[in-house]
C-alpha cells in the first residue's frame, strides 16, 4: 500500500512539473516570462480562441473613440481609413527569423494562423499589439511569453500605417491583420 501511495505521489509530481513547462494560454490567466507578462482572454464568440495582450497595453478593448471621447458607431468604424506601409513579405521575413523550420512546418501542416490586433498613434506608428490564436494551435499554444514578446517587438518595427483623412480625429486607431502560416513561402 505504501508503494502505491508513493508511486501515486511521484506521478502527480511529475505531471505537475511537466504542466509547468507548458504555457497555458486561457482566459483570465497572466502568463509570465523573463521580460514580459501577458494577460489571456477567452474570446466569447470564439470559445476555442484565446487573445493575449501585453499587460502594459493600455487600449485593449475593441472600442474606438474620437479625440473628444465620443465612441465611434459601427457605421463610423467602417469609414476609418489607412494604408499599410508594410507588406506581407515584411511579415513573412519576421516569421522566418523567429520560428524554426520545424515550427513553421508544424504551423503550415496544421493550417495555423494568428490574428494580430494593433493600435497606432496619429503618426501611424504601432504602439500596442495583441495576438489571437486557437487555444490548441501547435507551436503557438506552447510558445513562451518571451518569444511572443520578440514577435511583438519585431512587428512593431514594421507595422506602420498611413492614417487617412477620415481617421485624423480618431484617438488610437485600431487595425487587424493576420498571418496564415501555410501561405509563407
Which residue from 72, 98, 85 is spatially nearest to 151, judged by alpha carbons?
Answer: 98
pTM passes above 0.75? yes
Gap between the Cα atoms of 16 and 36, Å rounded: 23
Residue 3 maps to a domain? no
Q: Do the domain assignments include residue 2?
A: no
4 pLDDT higher than 80? no
Domain-located, residue 115: yes
> Where is 51: in which H helix or E strand?
strand 46-54
Instruction: Report the largest interatomic distance among the alpha carbons of the chain, rounded to a whole angstrom.
Output: 76
Nearest CA to 118 out of 77, 177, 41, 31 is that of 177
Is 15 a member of any domain? no
* Count of structural domains, the chain: 1
The string of pLDDT tens digits covering residues 97-146 is 999 999 999 999 988 899 999 999 989 999 999 999 988 888 998 999 99
Residue 148 domain flag: yes
**Residue 44 within any structural domain of the chain:** yes
Cα dihedral 183, 78, 39, 50 sign: negative
* Position 9 in a domain: no
Residue 110, phi then psi, degrees to nearest 5? -90, 5
Locate all alpha helices (DSSP H) within 22-132, ordered by sequence. 74-78, 88-98, 101-109
Q: What is the pLDDT of residues 21-78, one digit of tens each?
A: 445 777 778 999 999 999 998 866 667 888 999 999 998 788 888 999 999 888 888 8
Domain that includes residue 171, residue range: 24-183
Instruction: Tell whether 101 is covered by a domain.
Output: yes
Amino acid at each position: 500500500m505504501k508503494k502505491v501511495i508513493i508511486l501515486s505521489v511521484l506521478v502527480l509530481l511529475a505531471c505537475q512539473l511537466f504542466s509547468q513547462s507548458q504555457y497555458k494560454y486561457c482566459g483570465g490567466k497572466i502568463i509570465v516570462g523573463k521580460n514580459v507578462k501577458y494577460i489571456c482572454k477567452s474570446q466569447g464568440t470564439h470559445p476555442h480562441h484565446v487573445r493575449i495582450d501585453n499587460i502594459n497595453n493600455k487600449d485593449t478593448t475593441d472600442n474606438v473613440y474620437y479625440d473628444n471621447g465620443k465612441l465611434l458607431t459601427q457605421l463610423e468604424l467602417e469609414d476609418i481609413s489607412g494604408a499599410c506601409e508594410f507588406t506581407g513579405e515584411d511579415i513573412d521575413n519576421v516569421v522566418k527569423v523567429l520560428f524554426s523550420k520545424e515550427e513553421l512546418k508544424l504551423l503550415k501542416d496544421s493550417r495555423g494562423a494568428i490574428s494580430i490586433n494593433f493600435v497606432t498613434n496619429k503618426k501611424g506608428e504601432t504602439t500596442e499589439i495583441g495576438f489571437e490564436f486557437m487555444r490548441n494551435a501547435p507551436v503557438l499554444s506552447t510558445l513562451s511569453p518571451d518569444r511572443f514578446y520578440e514577435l511583438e517587438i519585431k512587428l512593431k518595427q514594421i507595422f506602420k500605417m498611413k492614417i487617412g483623412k477620415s481617421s485624423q480625429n480618431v484617438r488610437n486607431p485600431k487595425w487587424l491583420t493576420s498571418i496564415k502560416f501555410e501561405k509563407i513561402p
